[in-house]
Amino acid sequence: MAQVNSENTTSMPVDETRRRFLSQAAGLAAGGTALALATIPPASAATAPASPLASGEPDPIFAMIAMHKKLTADWQGLYNQLQKAEFNAAKEHGHRPIALIHWRDYYIGASEIDTRRETLLEAGEIDPATVEQEYLDAKARYEAQVAAGLAWDERAGLATLRNDVDRRVAATRRYEKRRLACTMPTTAAGVAALIQYVLDDDLCDDEDYWHMTALRSTVAALNNMSAAVTS
């Protein structure tokens, strides 16, 4: 599934080597932890902390994943409606202006403009004053494109629908960063499920996304399980 962030840009290509590694890690995590739990001596088992499943409490990560799927399906369904409405409106109002500008062989927008500025300055091949002037010009042109798009929405009667889509996307992003990614699985199955969910969502190591935080949560969960097994 293509990633869409708060600026409606797609994610970077997935590193297939890392994808395979993490897929294997998910299986090893589940199998290895299950094996460790199965081999705890009776005396150690009596003193080890009870797992959530043993106490009748389900691993919370499964509910988190289910909610994220629902939130994602909601905004994607509304986005599909917006796309169809845009297609129909274009017959009367022309195509909606795209929030991208051209700068030195790249079509970019939003935070990508800042990244491009940093790249050009670090390369040191262009006078910094020229880069800064071009940067300010690029920002102004981008803001003009954004304004043109909003004006098009008003003319086409799609401003409310687009705002609804933006709100739902933002709500999903908040949920995945603050809730899903920060929830520590309490079972080996939960660890494997979260890692697999990250992979299925097209793993991205950009800190603007939730994936890296989620993977750190799985590491913490496995460390807790290991400590419980060896204590």
Which residue, 6, 160, 151, is CA-closest to 93?
151
Which residue, 228, 180, 175, 223, is CA-closest to 61?
180
Q: What is the 3-state secondary structure (H, E, C) of 168-192?
A: HHHHHHHHHHHHHCCCCCCCHHHHH
pLDDT at 12: 37
HSE-CB at 57 with a 13 A cutoff on CA atoms is: 9
Distance CA 37, CA 56 (A): 17
Q: Which residues of the chain have pLDDT under 70?
A: 1-56, 202-208, 230-231
pLDDT at 203: 64
The residues, any chain, with a CB within 8 Å of residue 212's CB and separated by 6 or more, are: 205
Residue 37 phi/psi, 5-degree rounding, is -65, -35
pLDDT at 55: 52
Per domain, the residue ranges of the chain are 16-38+66-230
Which residue has tokens 């899903």? 180
pLDDT at 23: 52
pTM of the model: 0.68
The residues, any chain, with a CB within 8 Å of residue 67's CB and separated by 6 or more, are: 175, 179, 180
| Other residues' Cβ atoms within 10 Å of the Cβ of residue 190 | 25
